[in-house]
Every structure is written in structure tokens, then in C-alpha cells.
Structure 1
């Protein structure tokens, strides 16, 4: 099995606003780096080839959907690369969310989840909490970097 992950975010400003420039100007860089990481399998791209999809099942939100060979490889990318610097600045660019905005789930090798499948997993997580079907870092006791390295 491979690991699918989705995160959604509601931008505070239009993506072409100068206040979003540092985020937008580095999207391709971060996604290119991810695609070269050990364990990276796939990233969802919209019709125009953008990996930060703006046409999503969440009106006003943008989404990022990827597949990895293992949770450890995703964990390494998120917390041990330049990605972490941008993650730690997310409050500059995105609204604070009170509902779940990140979910992981297992998919068969070769499967490419859709945003609608990802929405169903996020909805399941929101309704029932962590389970074997839809989970967060907290559901994986052997994965610890999120506890010590996430932003406040």
C-alpha cells in the first residue's frame, strides 16, 4: 500500500496579491523538490498543470494531493526539508482553520486518488476522528517529527 495525503487551505488574499508572492513564487520549487524525494509517487495537477489546485470541492480553498511510498518518506519531506520553512509561515498566507484540513489514508499501489475521494476521507476524519480509513500524524505512533517540529 501507498500513502495518500491531502491538505487544503483558504488563502487570505488572491494568489496574485503581492502578499502571497513568497508562497506562490516557491510553489514550483517545493513541488519539484518533492517529486525528486525518495518515496514520492504522484501529485495531483489541475487542467493547467498546477499542483496547488484551486478548483476544489471546498469553495474558496486550494488543495494539494500527493501519494508517497511510506509515511516515513512523507514525514521526512514535510519536516526535514525547506518545505518546513514554508509550512511554518502558513499563517501569513492562509486562514486559520477550525476543522480538519489535512488527512492521510492508504491506497493500493498505482491508485491515483481524486479530490472527491480525498474530500470523502477528510469528511470521514472530521466526523469520526482518526481511524485506519482516514488519519492524521497522531494516528501513527511511530511517526514523531510532527510533535516536535510543527509550528505553533
Structure 2
């Protein structure tokens, strides 16, 4: 059985403790908890504190790049959480806290059940998407593939 991994990055406008980032920071824990309680959720990246991934060493030199990674039963579960919960507010509002990033900010790919993706693996998938475009091995939120490698229509 395969599950869907997703990785996304955001380049914050300032340090996490900045007043500019306060709303984003204040809602990290509740939005992460909502993800964990959502149907189809399997796993998410956490730092040693166990609430978020804010204290993790990332594979990016830019210290303002914040990473998020999770694993879901399928695309429908991830889509429901991403676009039909309070999480959608943060997607729509990201310009308040985030600077523009060249290329894709998010990537998805299928993994074997039980596999926990690494940050290096995720970064490589995002780089592949930015270089090669969407395909069965790394795809965007707008060009979805199924577990058999077939493109889906949204």
C-alpha cells in the first residue's frame, strides 16, 4: 500500500519571534493539531519539542525558510484538510508572513506504507518538481497523479 507524502516551504518575512509573524506562530500548534485529528492523517514532521518543526535543522541555508512535511492516506484526505478547514485561511493569508519564493513551494509524492520521508528526500523531490515539472515521482498541488502514475483531473 502507498501513502501520499507532502512537503512545503515558506520563506518568512522575519524571524519566528517577530511581531510580523505572530499570527502565523500563534496558530501553528492548533493547525498542526487539526491536521493530526483529520481523517487520513498518518504522520507529520516535528522537532524535539513535539509540536512543530520550527527548531529543526533544515537542508536550506536560508534560516527564514520554514519547512513542513506530512504523510496522508491519500490525496482526498490531504485536500480536505488543506482547503476545507481553517488551514485554508493560512494559505490565503501567507503574503502577510511570507516572501515570494521562485518556483514551487510544495511537492507531493507516493511512498510505501511505513516509510518516513527525510528532509533531504523532500528537498530533492521539490527540486525535481522545479526542474522537471510534475510527474508521477514528484507533483504539484495542481497537477495530481494517482498511485499508479496516472494524471488526475482536479
TM above 0.5, yes or no, is: yes
Q: Is the 8 A contact 1:137 1:143 kept in 2?
A: no
Measured on the aligned residues, the alpha-carbon RMSD in Å equals: 1.4
2:95 is aligned, of 87, 91, 94, to 91
Q: Is the 8 A contact 1:4 1:106 kept in 2?
A: yes
Please list every run of 5 or more consecutive structure 1 residues that lacks an aligned counterpart in the other structure.
Answer: 145-152
Q: Is the 8 A contact 1:7 1:101 kept in 2?
A: yes
2:58 is aligned, of 48, 56, 59, to 56
Q: Aligned with 2:108: secondary structure?
A: strand
Please list every run of 5 or more consecutive structure 2 residues that lacks an aligned counterpart in the other structure.
Answer: 145-150
User: 1:97 Cα deviation (Å)?
Assistant: 1.2
Q: Which has the higher strand share?
A: 2
- Aligned residue pairs, count: 144
TM-score (norm 2): 0.88
Q: Which has the higher helix share?
A: 1
Counterpart-to-counterpart distance in 2, 1:72 and 1:121: 21
Query: Map of 1:61-80 to 2, 5 A cutoff?
Result: 61-80=65-84
**1:75-110 alpha-carbon deviations (Å, 9 max, x no partner):** 000000000011111001011112221000000011
User: 1:50 Cα deviation (Å)?
Assistant: 4.1
Q: Which residue of 2 aligns with 1:120?
A: 124
Query: Map of 1:104-115 to 2, 5 A cutoff?
Result: 104-115=108-119
User: 1:142 Cα deviation (Å)?
Assistant: 4.3
TM-score (norm 1): 0.89
1:136 is aligned, of 134, 140, 143, to 140
